[in-house]
Amino acid sequence: MRKNRNGAWRATGVVTALATAAAIASVAPAQAQSTAQLSAWVSDGWGGGTITSQPAGINCHTSAWDPYAPGASAPNPTGTCTASFTVGTTVTFTATPDPGSYINAGPDPNPVTVRTGYNFTWVMFCPNDGLCSAG
């Protein structure tokens, strides 16, 4: 604080600091999340196949397997099963079974409009020989 020529006190530094704080506080709030994760889940139907997205980003494959084979365990999916997309983007999925498998269900939902938070689609591939966990 300092005195002006009339002898009155002025709080220039405090006023400047308060004005700066007010200006910072009046800035628009943080922008909404601009991208979000979208995951493709390949259900264990014991068949094999790939699910892809348009626009590109997801290319997730699972291999067929026989759960009754000695020492069998479900294979982990390979490729990109989760990707980031801009919120508001509509993503369409294509499921392609491997030779000897078919699409039992899905992709569902299809298409997906990406929103903030959790986004997903799923698909189930089954082997042509009738052995399918979805029966």
Domain locations in the chain? 35-127
- The whole-number pLDDT of residue 3 equals 56
pLDDT tens digits, one per residue of 14-73: 443 334 444 444 444 555 569 999 999 998 889 999 999 999 999 999 999 988 899 999
Give the whole-angstrom CA distance, residue 105 versus residue 108.
Answer: 8
What pTM was computed for the model?
A: 0.73
**Which helix H or strand E contains 25, and what residues bound it?**
helix 12-25
Tokens of 107: 């992709």
Give the whole-angstrom CA distance, residue 52 versus residue 58.
Answer: 5
- The whole-number pLDDT of residue 114 equals 98
Give the whole-angstrom CA distance, residue 50 versus residue 80.
Answer: 10
- The whole-number pLDDT of residue 2 equals 54
